[in-house]
Structure 1
Amino acid sequence: MNDHPLDLVDLRGDCENCFGLCCVALPFAASADFAVDKDAGTPCRNLQDDHRCGIHARLRQRGFTGCTVYDCFGAGQKVSQITFGGQGWRTGPREHARQMFDVFPVVRQLHELLWYLTEALTLPAARPLRPELRRLLEATEALTLGSPQELAQVDVAAHRQEVNQLLLRTSELARAGTRGRKKDRRGADLMGARLKGADLRGANLRGAYLIAADLTGADLRGADLIGADLRDTDLTDADLTGAFFLTQPQLNAARGSAGTRLPGSVSRPAHWTADV
């Protein structure tokens, strides 16, 4: 039996098969991440009629860094092609568009949970939990396949709590194999912290605030990074081999180098080398 029926590759955004939902459904405010304000349900001024971004190659230079770090975990193409059968928000009735914009954030959250559950099933130490992980993965996938009306009724918070409890147990098993004293920095305020060369092997960094922290050359092998805020974190030459529950959006928000060692579940952001 296949222990992880979903591939992490399938849980990444495929803009070619999406109706630009993240550029319409989601709001953003003028800040360091976005050049302008935009209300939820209002198309971004850079969105073209073909649902492509008109400044995609120049987003960072034009003040839209927030767009470059975002990923929908594959929710965009699911909502566009499966939930709404390929009918875009431009061509359907107004109520159709409103439903699509309401459903997209729900499916995005569920797809993020699918990412974690799928990765958990690949961790050798989680073998004792695989039946439970598989059950919750299948239940989560089933939720994503509901009708727009059914998706609107999903209690995402309650489902996330159930998944999180199992992921906590998974984390404990995965980190138990790391030798030495494992630091518990769950939810810690480490903004701007000087952690150059720090030994964080097997650390619990769940939900830690690492904004602008200096982790140059730090050892993060086997660390749990679920929900850690890595905005502007310096990961230059850091070793994240075996780190788990790290997502592409987290990594995209950080800074790194060609010497940063990454787990196979994520890709090296293009701007890491472009910014050099």
Structure 2
Amino acid sequence: MLDPFILRAIAAGLGVAIIAGTIGCFVVWRKMAYFGDSLAHSALLGIALGLAIGISTYLSTIIACLAFALILLWLQQKNLLATDTLLGILAHAALSIGMIAISVLELRVNLHSYLFGDILTVTSIELWWIYLGGFFVLLMIILNWPSLVLMTIHEELAKAENVNVYFQNLLLMLLMTIVVAVSIRTVGILLISSMLIIPAATARHLVNSPVAMAITASILGSIAVLGGIFLSMELDTPSGPSIVVTAALLFAILFAFSNIILKNNN
């Protein structure tokens, strides 16, 4: 019989893997890996905000990440700097401000668990946040799937088909902020982008359709979570990095056999 904290860890990890794998496909398709990483960096400012004013760090992280995304979108429209330059400036500024706020306000916080994750200490309340956020993310993706995919393939074509591209971009950013917020306790701020990228990148070499890729990425992410938790318990290693290492190993193994798998699928 597994201990309750292990069951909570497994449930949390699987919940995060499903939504991270699905939204991660759009990150890979739209080449938004750096944006996902930058969004995660801004999460520390949200955590500091939540601890300072006494609200849920999940809610404050969503607010901070969404503000980050909106500021980026506004600056992009001004054409002041290249997007990757803006991302670098905003992300590291937000991370640094968060660190300073935690220090100056003398907030009692285990930075290691937020930076690298600690899935084995997930509480029941945090589990609720993960699944409520996950349900909303999946619902929005299902309802907007045709528009999101069409926009990803070609924005001008999407506009011609009367897709509100601006709204879909905002929606995608919102969904990414929720995924980042609920994933912090699983793999940590510094490793969140790996759960968005690695399973989706692995799935891309195994299947031929967008729907199949989203499902495969979620399955691969779930396997990585289970393997990472087992590795963490057996070797007494940090849970977040263990999950990421497992995902990377899956990528290396399956990438080596991707041509054979694709031929069999065809």
TM-score computed with the length of structure 2 as normaliser: 0.29
Question: Which is helix-richer, 1 or 2?
Answer: 2
1 or 2 for the larger relative contact order (CA 8 Å, sep ≥6)? 2
Report the structure number with the largest CA radius of gyration. Answer: 1
